[in-house]
Amino acid sequence: MAKRAILYDQNDREIAHLSFAEIDDYSARGLVERLTPIRAATHRFRLLVPTTVDIVIPSETTLTDDINRANAGACDNDATILWAQRKVRKWPHVGDTKAVRVACRT
């Protein structure tokens, strides 16, 4: 399973699972504070800037939130992670009628 750090917003809501490189970058810029000891099994951080989580509107896509979390490694089951990664990799090629499409501008 991929090693990830859990990022919380200012209201202690879980908002992301990030790689340690991303967390190190946020720490260097002073955007996060560590909530757990350095040698903890699970690394938790709190974002120090306000977020816009409440105004996010989900799209009608067959890649659900659970699939996206598993794809990011936020799951305890390795088989589920591999299945989600395979689904995300093949998703653009299956003719998904609910998929969000972006046309290119000319």
pLDDT in tens, 15-41: 888 888 889 999 999 999 999 998 888
Q: For residues 21 and 15, give the distance between their C-alpha atoms in angstroms, rounded to a whole number.
A: 17
What pLDDT score was predicted for residue 1? Answer: 39
Output the pTM of the full model: 0.49
What pLDDT score was predicted for residue 43? Answer: 92
DSSP state of 55: G
Q: For residues 6 and 10, give the distance between their C-alpha atoms in angstroms, rounded to a whole number.
A: 13
Residue where the block lists tokens 């936020």: 74
Other C-beta atoms closer than 10 Å to the C-beta of 26 total: 19
CB 54 within 8 A of CB 11: no
Q: Which segments of the chain have a pLDDT < 50? A: 1
Q: For residues 39 and 36, give the distance between their C-alpha atoms in angstroms, rounded to a whole number.
A: 8
What pLDDT score was predicted for residue 45? Answer: 95
